């Protein structure tokens, strides 16, 4: 019981790592992840790849249409498309 309080599975560690990418991991979860990272090579590799992906996304400043913009575009396009079909 006490062990699971502090020690987490690899899957849970990866889940916390995912949440951390979005700033949604709690302080306690970050502590548990830190402990797992100190000895688990698999978690460490996953975390490193995950961080790298986040860095790449932030660096590239990727953008996309939000739902309203997309709906507007779709409506305009479908109107024109109907004329061609």
Partner 1 sequence: MADHKINPNNWINLYSDYLFNYTISRVSDREMAQDLVSETFLAGLKSMANFKGEASERTWLISILKRKIIDYYRKINSNKGKAEVRMNYNSDSEAEGDWLEERVADPFDKTAEDKLENSELGDAIYDCMAKLPEKQAEVFKMKTILGYDTETICNELGITASNLWVIIHRARTALAECMEKNWF
Number of residues that bind partner 1 (CB under 8 A): 32
82 contacts partner 1 (rule: CB under 8 A): no
Helix (H) or strand (E) holding 21: helix 10-21
* List 9, 26, 31, 52, residue binding partner 1 (CB under 8 A): 52
56 contacts partner 1 (rule: CB under 8 A): yes
Strands (E), 8-79: none
Q: What φ, ψ does residue 66 adopt, rounded to 5°?
A: -80, 175
Around Cβ 62, how many Cβ atoms within 10 Å? 8
Contact flags string 7-46 toward partner 1, x per CB under 8 A: -------xx--xx-xx-x----------------------
């Amino acid at each position: 019981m006490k062990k699971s309080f502090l020690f987490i599975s690899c899957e849970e560690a990866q889940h916390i790592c995912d949440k951390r990418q979005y700033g949604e991991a709690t302080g306690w979860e970050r502590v548990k992840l830190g402990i797992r990272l100190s000895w688990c090579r698999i978690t460490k590799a996953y975390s490193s790849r995950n961080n790298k992906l986040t860095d790449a996304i932030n660096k590239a400043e990727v953008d996309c249409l939000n739902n309203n913009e997309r709906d507007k575009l779709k409506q305009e396009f479908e109107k024109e498309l109907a004329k061609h079909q």
